[in-house]
Amino acid sequence: MHQNTTKMKKIILTSAAALYSAILFAQFGPEDTTRPKELDEIVVTATRTERKISNVAVPVRVIDQKTIQQAGSLRLRDILQEQAGLYMTNGFGVGVQMQGLSPDYTLIMVDGEPLVGRTAGVLDLNRVAVGNVRKIEIVKGPSSSLYGSEAMAGVINVITDNSFRKKLNAGIRYGFGNPDKGWGLPGASSTFENMDFSLQGSTTIGKLGIQFFSDANLFDAVSFRLYSAERVPQPVKRFTNQLQLSYRFSQKTKLSLSVRDAYDHIKQEFATTNNGGITHSYGREANNDLNMNAVLLHQFSDKVKNTTRLYATTYNGSQILHFREFTDSVYDDEFRQHFYRAENQTDVSWTRSTLTAGGGYAIDQVNSTRYDDISSRKQNTIAYGFAQYEWRPADAVTVIAGVRYDDNKLFAAAFSPKLALRYTVSKKLSLKASVGRGFKAPDFRQLYLNFTNNAAGGYSVFGSIDAVRIIDQLNRLGQIAEIRDDYSKLKQLTPEYSTGVNAGGTYTPTDKLNFNFNVFRNDIENLIDAREVAVRSNGTQIYSYINVKNAFTQGVELEAAYQFNEKFRVNAGYQYLYTADKADLQKIDSKTVFTRDENGFSRLLTKADYVGLPNRSRNMANLKLSYDNKKFFATSRILYRSKWVVSDADGNGLYNKQDEFAKGYVQLNISAGRQFKNGIRVQGGMDNVLNYRDINNLPNLAGRMIYLSAQFKLIP
């Protein structure tokens, strides 16, 4: 009952605010609805220099502001999930799987600076609000030659609005749903609600540009399933504030400063059953992300440009859980990462070529309860240099050669070359091909983790730096029963590598029709895996991290766009993906892997039975229909993902057709909006219209949700 009144109050407040604002700002003049048609967009992420997308030799996609707005997206996850070939993973937040590589291997940047604070390799995409995003650039294929660690599968660069045009906009949104009943009623106790408030403004005073963005997102999902054993979305409050300043000293020199703060508070009330015993846990997870950067741009001449970037970021993640059943015990997990970087880049442009060269120094520090002692700071320093030469021997041809060297204090250095070619065959057809090397530095967790799971049998995981010392110590105390073969492989971890090849192009048979195609293959070496290295006298296992696995991912990406007329447009995307662990393929070749037939009897496993790495779909597709007459728009977006393997049901140690799969599914999202003359934009939509849910395999997919939003231009 109390729940109800609170919710009713919220709704009344929400509606009142909307109405009040509507009345207040109804007087303002007509909105500028004409948008410049960006036929050939400028992108920066692919080459670290501004380039027309048609001239870029690597696969790059741009999601523009209008697409983000029309999809009703609030967080980075919302918009990325609608892109062909990007799959949102579940566990430790929402991560992105690109070209079949796990979330660990995609670099996520905001305005060209990396976000830190990954849990088990996953950077939660819900941490990033997209309300002030001008565009998102997605570069596929290894990009470590420019960006260093993590850019193995590709790079996602979220670029915020930095126009500093005079404006003040307010946004409000209310969404609700009830997946169990199919349709929710606003205010009902079993309804979950998602509310968002945003305010952004910018202006230019002389040479100074000022811009700010504030966003509050309140998602309340657990009220109807308190202490549920099912992993449903938890009640979340997320706040984002960003302030950007720009000062133009002269035509040639500009300084930009940005401070971004994102805070997430996730309430936790859930029940877990382990071996039949139920534990009720309650507490909270709180994450704070603070980024500060300064960019000094100086144009020495028409030909020479210099960019100096300073970046400091802190990520504090903490989780505190209490237990109803064990009142004297508290689970306290703290993770604090600091990352500082100074970088300088010079671009020299000639008529037919550009040289980009630079270098930098970074300090990466972590304190965590997950390691031996939270007060002991783990630190890595990285010194790096990169160079890229872009040559256009003819108008139709671009050749790019790049290389980067990262020298790490804690582990082996990484060398990342890249070569890319683009050839414009005709006005209708252009081809591109690239080959590059990507790497990912070992995590601090892989180096320093010191974890013993007393709740589940007492096994331990030690990071590679301490594992040998700890095991030797235990051995001297007579506590080690057995040293496993993998113990001998324990040594300093080296980065994980990938070699990626991308080949494809763009075909534009008519003004209205456009195709993009790309074939890719990523060979991944040296993957770090947790392996059993010793057994204690009491039978519990000790694990550590070793560079052992080799895998590959390969596939085809296709995109088509058809513009029926000025108003009506269709976009379609498709990705076919095949992945394999190379050791698995060898085992199948050696005829030592079996599965079971329909009678439950063993039979040899064939390559045709093998499905590759888990949690990957062979087929993914999307279809978007949109109508836009500049005053009114409507979109319908369909996403499809084929079945994916979730567990090794036949126990043969690899994933094959006889194992357990999550069902393939279709998700439908629709939205429509109207632009009014007084600067008000009203939008409504429904996410997950078909109310598709799979609580075990897609815990982050909320049920059907209806939302309404309004944007107000507070300054005409």
Residues near another protein (CB under 8 A): 229, 273-277, 456, 592-596, 600-605, 646-653, 660, 696-697
Enumerate the β-bridge partners of residue 711.
Answer: 171, 681
CB of 650 to another protein, least distance (A): 6
What's the CA gap between 20 and 38, in Å, rounded? 36
CB of 161 to another protein, least distance (A): 43
Would you say 511 or 601 has its CB closer to another protein?
Answer: 601
CB of 105 to another protein, least distance (A): 22
Asked whether the beta carbons of 169 and 161 are under 8 A apart, the reply is no
CB of 468 to another protein, least distance (A): 23
CB of 16 to another protein, least distance (A): 44
CB of 606 to another protein, least distance (A): 13
Would you say 399 or 649 has its CB closer to another protein?
Answer: 649
> Torsion angle of alpha carbons 608, 609, 613, 614, nearest 10°?
150
Would you say 393 or 539 has its CB closer to another protein?
Answer: 539
> Torsion angle of alpha carbons 122, 91, 66, 518, nearest 10°?
70
What's the CA gap between 549 and 555, in Å, rounded? 20
What's the CA gap between 218 and 30, in Å, rounded? 32
What's the CA gap between 421 and 423, in Å, rounded? 7
Asked whether the beta carbons of 145 and 386 are under 8 A apart, the reply is yes
CB of 716 to another protein, least distance (A): 55
Would you say 13 or 278 has its CB closer to another protein?
Answer: 278
Would you say 229 or 413 has its CB closer to another protein?
Answer: 229
What's the CA gap between 195 and 218, in Å, rounded? 5
CB of 462 to another protein, least distance (A): 17
Would you say 278 or 396 has its CB closer to another protein?
Answer: 278
* Residues sharing a CB contact under 8 Å with residue 473, sequence separation 6 or more, in sequence order: none
Pairing status of strand 154-160 against strand 106-110:
parallel
- The burial class, CB within 10 Å (0-12 / 13-18 / 19+), for 394 is exposed
Write a three-state SS string for 602-641.
Answer: EEECCCCCECCCCCCCCEEEEEEEEEECCCEEEEEEEEEE
* Residues sharing a CB contact under 8 Å with residue 288, sequence separation 6 or more, in sequence order: 261, 262, 263, 264, 314, 315, 316, 317
Would you say 364 or 650 has its CB closer to another protein?
Answer: 650
CB of 662 to another protein, least distance (A): 9
Q: What's the token pair of residue 281?
A: 């846990």
Helix, coil or strand: residue 57: coil
Identify the helix (H) or strand (E) that includes residue 467: helix 464-476
CB of 190 to another protein, least distance (A): 23
Would you say 461 or 558 has its CB closer to another protein?
Answer: 461
> How far is C-alpha 423 from the geometric centre of its chain's CA atoms?
31
Would you say 426 or 454 has its CB closer to another protein?
Answer: 454
Pairing status of strand 459-462 against strand 450-453:
antiparallel
What's the CA gap between 405 and 359, in Å, rounded? 9
CB of 531 to another protein, least distance (A): 11
> How far is C-alpha 83 from the geometric centre of its chain's CA atoms?
12
Would you say 313 or 652 has its CB closer to another protein?
Answer: 652
CB of 414 to another protein, least distance (A): 32
CB of 609 to another protein, least distance (A): 11
Would you say 374 or 646 has its CB closer to another protein?
Answer: 646
Would you say 320 or 649 has its CB closer to another protein?
Answer: 649
Would you say 459 or 676 has its CB closer to another protein?
Answer: 459
Give the chain's length: 716
* Residues sharing a CB contact under 8 Å with residue 600, sequence separation 6 or more, in sequence order: none
Helix, coil or strand: residue 485: helix
Residue 326's CB is within 10 A of a number of other CB atoms, namely 11
Would you say 274 or 375 has its CB closer to another protein?
Answer: 274
What's the CA gap between 282 and 99, in Å, rounded? 37
Tell which residue, 571, 637, 714, has the closest CA to residue 70.
Answer: 637
* Residues sharing a CB contact under 8 Å with residue 157, sequence separation 6 or more, in sequence order: 44, 45, 109, 110, 111, 112, 136, 137, 138, 139
Tell which residue, 395, 397, 387, 392, has the closest CA to residue 433.
Answer: 397
What's the CA gap between 400 and 394, in Å, rounded? 13
CB of 31 to another protein, least distance (A): 50
What's the CA gap between 265 and 270, in Å, rounded? 16
Would you say 41 or 648 has its CB closer to another protein?
Answer: 648
Residue 696's CB is within 10 A of a number of other CB atoms, namely 11
CB of 527 to another protein, least distance (A): 19
Pairing status of strand 459-462 against strand 541-563:
parallel
Would you say 206 or 600 has its CB closer to another protein?
Answer: 600
CB of 120 to another protein, least distance (A): 13
